[in-house]
Amino acid sequence: MENKFDMNPFVEIWTSPKKTIRAIVEAYPKYYLYFFATIQGLYALVNIFSSLRPAALEGMTNAIFIGIMILLTPLLGRVYFWINGWILKWVGSWFHGKASYIETRTVLAWSQVPIIFLIVIFLINQLAAHLFLGEALLEGTPLPAIIAQFPVWLFINSVATAVFGIWSLVIFFGGIAEVHQFSVWKAILTGIIAVVIWWLALSIFLTISALFANLMLAL
């Protein structure tokens, strides 16, 4: 994709998140949007699969696994950006924020840049585990539990995950503050309220689903 800016957004986003976000939303808000939607969806699936025991994936062929990844990663990311974009626009307006949905969605997208490195770390962990500790995986031990048995490996992973995770939040809160034109503290509060809204919505959904399932079993 052609670079439409005087700087490289992938580099500048690390040191000047506000300036970079402003340049993107003014020039081309959809710049790499669908790429980042795929990254977000991939990261969500990576977290799900890494927490499962290998036995839970037994019977899933490589073709099925790849098919799931290809179909779900862009979809999950787009849904995430769509819902969160509107929530962040709505909540930010409570604090007199001025951002549009397109602008909050752009912030969500570009805060994924550090997440790319978290996915790379996951892939390296998977490769190392299969090369050197394949038997543990075959015995049904989840990857995080395997890593926890090796202090140096655990330390490196923990530090790397913390650094990239925190920097993703720095970009996110700085970007929200920039597009809404209010303070970083209001941006942090906006993000916290958005998480609470997600948690309440998910809790209500799971409660209703459980009640419906029990009702169907009782019939």
Predicted local distance difference test score (pLDDT) of residue 51: 60
pLDDT value at position 2?
Answer: 55
pLDDT value of residue 99? 93
pLDDT of residue 1: 58
pLDDT at 179: 95
Q: What is the pTM of this model?
A: 0.79
Q: What is the pLDDT of residue 160?
A: 87
Q: Give residue 176's pLDDT.
A: 96
Q: What is the 3-state secondary structure (H, E, C) of 198-218?
A: HHHHHHHHHHHHHHHHHHHHH
Amino acid 86 reads W
- What is 100-152 written as a DSSP string? -HHHHHHHHHHTTHHHHHHHHHHHHHHHHHHHH-HHHHHTT--HHHHHHT-HH
**Which residue has 């969806």 as its token pair?**
41
Q: 106: number of CA atoms within 13 Å, CB side?
A: 28
SS3 95: coil
What is the DSSP secondary structure assignment for residue 57, as one 8-state letter?
G
Q: Are 184 and 177 in contact (CB under 8 A)?
A: yes
Q: What's the CA gap between 203 and 69, in Å, rounded? A: 26
Indicate the angle between helix axes 113-132 and 151-180, nearest 10 degrees: 160
In the block, tokens 């969160």 appear at 84
Distances (CA, A) of 88 to 98, 164, 194, 217: 11, 22, 6, 39
Four-point Cα dihedral 131, 137, 141, 142, nearest 10: 70
Q: Are 35 and 28 in contact (CB under 8 A)?
A: no
Give yes or no for a contact between 44 and 80, defined as CB atoms under 8 angstroms apart.
yes
Q: Is 7 helix (H, G, I), strand (E, B) or coil?
A: coil
Query: Per residue of the chain (219 residues), what is the pLDDT tens digit?
Result: 556 677 889 999 999 999 999 999 998 888 988 888 888 888 877 776 666 555 555 555 556 666 766 777 778 888 888 999 999 999 999 999 999 999 999 999 999 999 888 888 877 877 776 666 655 554 555 666 666 677 777 788 888 889 999 999 999 999 999 999 999 999 999 999 999 998 898 889 888 887 877 777 666
Q: CA dihedral in degrees (160, 163, 164, 170; nearest 10)? A: 180
